[in-house]
Amino acid sequence: MDYRSLVKVFTAVLILLFACCLAPAQTNDATIDVNGLLDAAQQFAKDNLDDDVLRALQQVDRAQVQDFLKHYQEYLNGDYVLDLAQLKEAAATVLPLLEAHEETQPYAAWLKSRLDYFEAAQEMQALAPVPRPETNAVPSNPTFKVEQEIWVKKVAPRPWPKAAKELVPQLKPIFASERVPEELVWLAEVESGFDASAESPAGALGMFQLMPATAKQYGLSLWPFDERKQPEPAARAAAKQLRRLYGQFGDWRLAVAAYNCGEGRVQKALSRYKTKSYERIATHLPAETQMYVPKVEATISLREGVSLQKLKLPGAL
């Protein structure tokens, strides 16, 4: 295998392992089973990653990644939002590797817009009460209110993303034409920093991180040119998806949560806890969603001076 191919394979493995770290761990066993973990990683790839990453993974010599896996074992054990704090250093290490190679730069753009999740988790971890040793209790997830306060502080000093100055005026009318609050255009800052090339290891693409099935649902072409990378078609598809989710849940926090983790996850939590309130289910949603919703809310409040919950449909009184 030549040097360029080896780099591509290694960076693909990094992407895969990073994605696995975001998934809830199923064991607390401190002894790492390298072959077992890579088997699990390969299954994760089949279920979640696109074909290019999967093909690269299939070429990997397991011995090449053994040492790397050992560094990740502690991150594979947690299943709550505070565990994301442990990924901060790993993410900082992975990012320049992704940025250094053309084929993985879209993944770098995706990761860059999520680095603050790990920073925020670290801040939440510092605020969490320490359980008494005799109880063997695990700290609970922070409340939605605590997460809101942290995200307001984190987002407050940020300038507009460079691309937003041109794109926001261009895309707001598209949201309005789809009868969606135009302020929701700022989802693109949270999803990708307005970087149309951003791509997740799971295959979401573009400023609004649309999955292939969602894009097709709203009439976007994926071949020969992927319209998810084009600002206006992507914005229209995102607006239609948000409109549909709001029609289902009647609440913008729930709609934004469903945009991130899927309406099935949100509906299941609402049914389980017999509620119609996002705040009631917030700590039971995936860790990324727990970060995503208050970050979106803080971003819209900063950019537009309006609360997510007070957004009105165009034409509504």
Phi, psi (rounded to 5 degrees) for 157: -85, 0
Residue 253, classified by CB atoms within 10 Å of its CB into exposed (0-12), middle (13-18) or buried (19+), is buried
Say how far apart CA 204 and CA 154 lie, in whole Å: 25
Tell me whether residue 191 is one of the annotated catalytic residues: yes
Say how far apart CA 191 and CA 207 lie, in whole Å: 6
Paired tokens of 23: 């998934």
Say how far apart CA 311 and CA 125 lie, in whole Å: 31
Q: Which of 178, 183, 191, 227 is the catalytic position? A: 191
Write out the DSSP string of the chain. Answer: --HHHHHHHHHHHHHHHHHHHHSPPS---SS--HHHHHHHHHHHHHHHS-HHHHHHHTT--HHHHHHHHHHHGGGGS--SGGGGGGGHHHHHHHHHHHHTSGGGHHHHHHHHTTHHHHHHHHHHHHHSPPPPGGGTPPPPPPPHHHHHHHHHHHHTTPPPPTTHHHHHHHHHHHHHHTTS-GGGGGHHHHHHTT-TT-B-TTS-BTTTTB-HHHHHHTT---SSS-GGGSHHHHHHHHHHHHHHHHHHHS-HHHHHHHHHH-HHHHHHHHHHTT---HHHHGGGS-HHHHHHHHHHHHHHHHHHS--GGG---TT--
Active-site residue list: 191
